[in-house]
């Protein structure tokens, strides 16, 4: 099983913690690479619940340039925030900067604060997303692509330059409902969802069953879709003490590793964990995951 690390880009609002500085983000990413994490992922929003975010695709470029081996991805690019052609162009660019280490994760978006504040059209949510991801997929895979939809259009006689992979970086779609899962089965290289370390192993099998039904309907081998889940939050330092909730798992190395490996039992290929983003961005929390990462890799 692969294991990834969530890198936080947000602040806590006017009365909360400040957003991490680039130096802090870089320290976390370098530590993750040294520890042996397979990838780092970035959340994407402009504002949510009173807090703000650094721009996630810009930060991804800096991370790609600051690392040499670790995969860089988003969980997930918030589709309504950018035109699909820009997302595809950015994905090719990030793949170039990273030398083929970028994975594009994308979702329909869940940041209503963003849309209202900046007059971003987001409804009808599924229909707009389906057209946007069709264009993105087409421009990732083809230098020539034509599409006319109700919301999106693309007519490109030459979509270039392209990154080191001729068909572009892998495309991962976050999906929980039947329509989104069908779209994932049709277009994506990977599927992603999220949950808590306590409830997700029981909640995910029903969604995975639906994904496999969607694959059958699309004539797709379910094994050809990589499966990942974002898990919030692991606390390897015991920072949260007795204040932990069912979203925070504190324990020994063996207990944390066993919790993560439970996901392999339900067919998950990759678990991306938050160990610092919601614990003040502490690099020592990332470093403390070294034995857990080793245990997960050993299975």
Confidence at residue 243, expressed as pLDDT on a 0 to 100 scale:
54
Concatenate the DSSP letters of all residues of 228-275 into one string: EEEEE-EETT-TTGGG--TT-EE--HHHHHHHHHTTGGGT-SEEEEES
Q: How far is 179 from 250, CA to CA, in rounded Å?
A: 36
Contacts for 150 with CB less than 8 Å, ≥ 6 apart: 127, 131
Mean pLDDT by 10 residues, the chain (299 residues): 95 86 95 98 89 95 98 97 97 98 95 85 95 98 97 96 95 98 98 95 97 97 98 89 74 96 98 78 90 97
Are the beta carbons of 239 and 282 closer than 8 angstroms? yes
Confidence at residue 231, expressed as pLDDT on a 0 to 100 scale:
96
> 2-298, what's its fold?
TIM Barrel (3.20.20)
Domain boundaries, the chain: 2-298
Exposure class string for 154-165: b at 16+ Cβ within 10 A, else e: bebeebeebbee
Closest CA to 272 of 27, 16, 92, 8: 8
Q: Where are the alpha helices (DSSP H) in 109-251?
A: 112-117, 125-141, 178-187, 200-218
Q: How far is 107 from 109, CA to CA, in rounded Å?
A: 5
Residue 176 has a CB neighbour count (10 Å cut-off) of: 19
Confidence at residue 278, expressed as pLDDT on a 0 to 100 scale:
61
């Amino acid at each position: 099983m692969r294991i990834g690390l969530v890198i936080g880009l947000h602040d806590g609002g006017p009365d909360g913690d400040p957003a991490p500085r680039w130096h802090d983000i870089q320290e976390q990413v370098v530590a993750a690479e040294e520890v042996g994490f397979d990838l780092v992922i970035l959340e994407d929003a402009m504002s949510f619940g009173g807090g703000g975010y650094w721009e996630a695709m810009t930060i991804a470029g800096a991370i790609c340039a600051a690392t040499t081996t670790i995969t860089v991805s988003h969980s997930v690019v918030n589709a309504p925030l950018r035109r699909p052609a820009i997302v595809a162009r950015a994905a090719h660019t990030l793949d170039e900067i990273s030398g083929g280490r970028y994975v594009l994760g994308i979702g329909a978006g869940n940041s209503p604060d963003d849309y209202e504040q900046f007059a971003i059209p987001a409804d009808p949510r599924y229909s707009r997303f389906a057209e946007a991801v069709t264009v993105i997929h087409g421009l990732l895979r083809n230098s020539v692509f034509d599409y006319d939809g109700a919301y999106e259009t693309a007519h490109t006689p030459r979509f270039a330059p392209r990154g080191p992979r001729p068909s572009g970086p892998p495309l991962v779609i976050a999906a929980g409902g039947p329509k989104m899962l069908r779209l994932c089965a049709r277009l994506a290289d990977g599927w992603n969802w999220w949950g808590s370390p306590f409830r997700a192993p029981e909640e995910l099998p029903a969604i995975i069953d639906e994904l496999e039904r969607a694959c059958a309907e699309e004539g797709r081998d379910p094994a050809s879709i990589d499966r990942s889940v974002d898990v919030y939050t692991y606390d390897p330092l015991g920072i949260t003490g007795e204040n932990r909730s069912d979203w925070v798992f504190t324990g020994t190395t063996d207990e944390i590793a066993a919790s993560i490996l439970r996901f392999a039992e339900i067919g998950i290929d990759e678990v991306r964990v938050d160990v610092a983003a919601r614990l003040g961005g502490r690099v020592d929390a990332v470093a403390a995951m070294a034995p857990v990462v080793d245990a997960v890799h050993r299975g």
